Amino acid sequence: MGLVFRNVSKSYGAVVAIRQADMEIERGEVRAILGGNGSGKSTLAKIAGGLIGKDTGEILLDEEKIDFSSPKEAKKHQVIMTSQELSLFGNLTVEENISICDVPRRAGFTDKKALKKKARDILASMNLESIVGKKVSELAANQQYMVELAKALAQDPKILLIDEITSALYREDVDIVCRLLADLKKKGCIILFISHRMAELYAICDSVTIMRNGETLGTYQMEEKTEDELLSLMVGTKVESYHGEGRHKGERKRDVFLKASQIRIPSYGTEESLEIGKGEIIGVAGLQGHGQTELIRALYGMYGEISLEKDGQPLTIHSPREAVRQGFAFISGDRERDGTFRERSLAENVLAVQQLVKNQKAKDAKEILDGYNVRYDHPGQLITDLSGGNQQKVVVGRWLSTEPTLLLADDPSKGIDVKARNDLHREFARLAGQGSAVIMISSDDDELVNITSMAETSRVIVLYEGKISAVLTGDAISRENISAASMPINAIPDEQEVSRS
């Protein structure tokens, strides 16, 4: 009979996270849960995984009531959760991390041989032999996610809960995930899959349950509904997903706003140059860890001194502080590390730059929060009370309210829902419309195609091993072209010359 949720509710104080959710999943089924930020998907998964308790309702597994009080108890029943917050130990090796929940022992000590063998078998089945023996902290983000998944597989799950594990994966990783999940399906494993990426949902899942405001609205077979139909259901109003291809303006003469002739990319020891036009949106693509992040961080003065030319005048930037003074802004997708002040209020979070650095006469915090459609109670509440997408809107509000002349965005829509993402794109496009420049990295090629179609002048640059391997403009900006330029084969010099425009 599989897994059944009946009338499950959960509230945090006055905030209702889940309202009488109902859901049935058969054995061997991969079920997607689709919903906006704060719609209760993660909460539902966490309840099933024993991370948090439910208030009312019941959960049945094969017609038997289950009510786990801790993840440990859930694990005994082979209910395994992988979450968007990684549960890995950076100082341990990949193998150790994979076996951490069930360390093989011999005579009271860790059986290192057995541990390594088990982990290596799993890694081999995932085509990840290359990361054997490395420490997790040395891995790129997408590889860390794969280790997280390998760790879940090592525990031989009967129910696997995947909470947005794919938000930082690349296409080749997704293929591996698809294959692994197909194997699990054959064994009768139930898989709950939470993701914002429609392409993955169609590739991986059998059926989808839509959630909105904590309620389960309905379950559909994936093939029954188109992408736009699902999104409309999820948001409650009709929306269209990205349809940017073919809408790009052709290349035209632009006023150069900023010229960076030497941008150092430390991890590859390479140097690149970039000319940034007024009102231009530059999308930065490439496989994870090929220098995209470093490119824009270097422009922001984070790796020490960088010489630029702004409006024809030479300009040297030593630190982020100076970059901010010059009207630069930096929005990171890694909110916890680079964005939010978790112990402080919304007002402090949103006014940080304006009041403390720029010395501007501050606008009212409320005005900014409302202006960027943040859902909140009052400006004095902690930022952690908000959902991830809303937290990101606060960070976006913080920066855009200072009216930056150059916006640097490092995968800013990571882990936020489609609607919030569209809002974000609109804000970025508006900024570009006012003559500011936007440089945005995304691990989602579709997103880059979409946002670059929203500006008068735009380009997508693709990085490979710390070098720009292709510059796409106009109609050449498409998912296929970005994807092709990201792959090693196109980095061969001749090819590169062809794709450079």
Partner 1 sequence: MMERWKKWNNPYLPAVLGILALMILGQTVTSGFLSMNNISSILMTTAILTMASIGQAAVVISGDSGLDMSVGAVMSLTALFGPMIVLGSGMASLFVMIPAVLLIGGCVGLLNGLGVQVIKIVPLVMTLIMSNVVNGFAILITGGQPSVSVSKELQSISGVFVGPVRYLTAIVLILLIVLEIFFLRKSRYGRSLFLVGDNYNAARLCGINSKKIVILAYGFSGAMAGLAGLFLVGYAGTAQMNMASSYTMLSVAAVVIGGTKLTGGKGTFIGGALGAMVLILITNILQALNMAAGLRSLIQGLILIGILMTNSRAPKLRQ
Would you say 18 and 212 are in contact if contact means Cβ atoms under 8 Å apart? no
Q: Whose Cβ is closer to partner 1: residue 325's or residue 430's?
A: 325
- Which residue, 252 or 325, has its beta carbon nearer to partner 1? 325
> Rule CB under 8 A: is residue 11 a binding residue for partner 1?
no
In sequence order, which residues have a C-beta less than 8 Å from that of residue 92 and are 6 or more positions away? Answer: 100, 135, 136
Q: At 467, is the secondary structure helix, strand, or coil?
A: strand
d(CA 259, CA 231): 40
Q: Which residue has the tokens 């006023």?
A: 255
Which region, judged by CB under 8 A, interacts with partner 1, from 87-95, 197-205, 276-284, 378-386?
Answer: 378-386
* Binding positions for partner 1, 261-320, rule CB under 8 A: 300, 302, 319-320
Q: Please say which residue, 261 or 381, places its beta carbon nearer to partner 1.
A: 381
CA distances from 480 to 111, 171, 228, 283 (A): 47, 12, 21, 15
What the block records as the tokens of 85 is 């917050």
Residue 51 CB, nearest distance to partner 1 (Å)? Answer: 14
Please, which residue, 78 or 381, has the CB nearer to partner 1?
A: 381
- Please, what is the minimum distance in Å from the beta carbon of residue 391 to partner 1? 12
Q: Does 378 bind partner 1 (CB under 8 A)?
A: yes
Residues 221-260: x where in contact with partner 1 by CB under 8 A, - otherwise, as a string = ----------------------------------------
> At closest approach, how far in Å is the CB of 334 from partner 1?
9
Under 8 Å between Cβ of 154 and 99: yes
Decide the pairing of beta strands 328-332 and 313-317.
Answer: unpaired
Across the beta sheet with 190-194, what order do the strands follow? 79-82, 159-163, 190-194, 30-35, 207-212, 215-221
Window 396-415: residues binding partner 1 (CB under 8 A)? 398
CB of 395 to partner 1, least distance (A): 9
The contacts of residue 380 (CB under 8 Å, 6+ apart) are: 345, 346, 347
The answer to whether 274 and 285 have CB atoms below 8 angstroms apart is: no
Residue number, 113 or 378, with CB nearest to partner 1 = 378
Residue 458 beta carbon to partner 1: minimum distance, rounded to whole angstroms: 25
Q: Virtual CA dihedral for 356, 361, 366, 369, nearest 10 degrees?
A: -60
Q: Beta-carbon neighbour count of residue 476 at 10 Å?
A: 18
CB closer to partner 1 out of 64 and 343: 343
Contact mark string toward partner 1, 309..348, x via CB under 8 A:
----------xxx-xxx----x-x----xxxxxxxx---x
Q: How far, in Å, CA of 54 to CA of 85, rounded? A: 21
Binding mask 343-372 for partner 1 (x = CB under 8 A): xx---x---xx-xxxx--------------
Of 131 and 439, CB closest to partner 1: 439
CB of 352 to partner 1, least distance (A): 5
Q: Where are the alpha helices (DSSP H) in 372-478?
A: 388-400, 418-433, 445-452
Q: Which is nearer to partner 1, 340 or 452 (CB)?
A: 340
Q: Quick one: which of 380, 488, 492, 498 contacts partner 1 (CB under 8 A)?
A: 380
According to DSSP H, which parts of 99-250 are helical?
112-125, 141-154, 171-186, 198-204, 227-235
Residues 41-80 vs partner 1: string with x where CB under 8 A? Answer: ----------------------------------------
Binding region for partner 1 (CB under 8 A): 300, 302, 319-321, 323-325, 330, 332, 337-344, 348, 352-353, 355-358, 378, 380-381, 398
